[in-house]
A = this chain, B = another copy of it.
Amino acid sequence: MAKLRVHNFSMSLDGYVAGPDQSLEDPLGVGAEALHEWIFATPSGRAMLGEDRGDAVRSADDDFFEAGDRNIGATIMGRNMFGPVRGEWGASDWRGWWGPNPPYHHPVFVLTHHAHDPVEMEGGTTFHFVTDGIESALARATEAAGGRDIRLGGGASVVRQYLEAGLVDELHLPVVPVLLGSGERIFTGDAHQLEGYTADIVSSPAVAHVVFTRR
């Protein structure tokens, strides 16, 4: 069975997965870069940025970061993760945050209320736009993944919706010991949100990797 997996979904110690005031300049909100510094300290994170891997030392962080790409055949994401355009698409020719060759290299299903033709990019990534809900997106992604797993990219509200529907098989939350003070939470007052999951923790000096796996 193909699994729906969330990886590298960093959360601050005060519970925020995105900062306040998201914008074109700050797509993850103000201060949220502190949530992702651990990634850019790893050899694979540096390579993703096109930087020399340098003398960065491999740690548990690398293993977790790289696990997010392993055996993934399709990705699902919310519209805000795809881009800053809100409401009707209109004349927008936005093609994602990632340039002509996005780092997916497989079909990506973008949840939206507004229909949009598929956008084919270089390197095997095609963005498909799904207007009939999270279960439909999962069905289409499962079909497209051809037996491999599906990665649920975010943002917070999309992950919450799939959690509430009981559809997430694995949730990797790196807890970063910083405070954002405000922003977007993934846990919003429901003590039962993770019932039926087992939790495991592995830490590096900078991050506590908490992994929830559906029993």
Contacts and interface: CB of A to CB of B under 8 A. Distances in A.
A200 interface: yes
Interface stretch (A100-108, A151-159, A188-196): A188-196
Given A182-B189, A191-B180, A203 B205 contact: no
Contacts of A204: 201
Nearest to A183: B191
B206 A175 contact: no
* Most-contacted residue by chain B among A199, A200, A207, A208 (CB, 10 A): A208
A155 to B, nearest CB: 18
Interface in A163-204: 173, 175, 177-182, 185, 187, 189-194, 199-204
A161 to B, nearest CB: 17
B199 A177 contact: yes
Contacts of A199: 177-178, 206
A41 interface: no
A78 interface: no
Contacts of A15: 13-15, 187
A39 interface: no
Nearest to A180: B191
Contact of A181 (B13, B178, B185, B189): B189
A210 B181 CA distance: 18
Contacts of A179: 187, 190-194
Interface of A: 13-15, 31, 173, 175, 177-182, 185, 187, 189-194, 199-208, 210, 212
6 smallest beta-carbon distances between A and B, as pairs: A181-B191, A208-B208, A203-B203, A177-B199, A14-B187, A201-B203
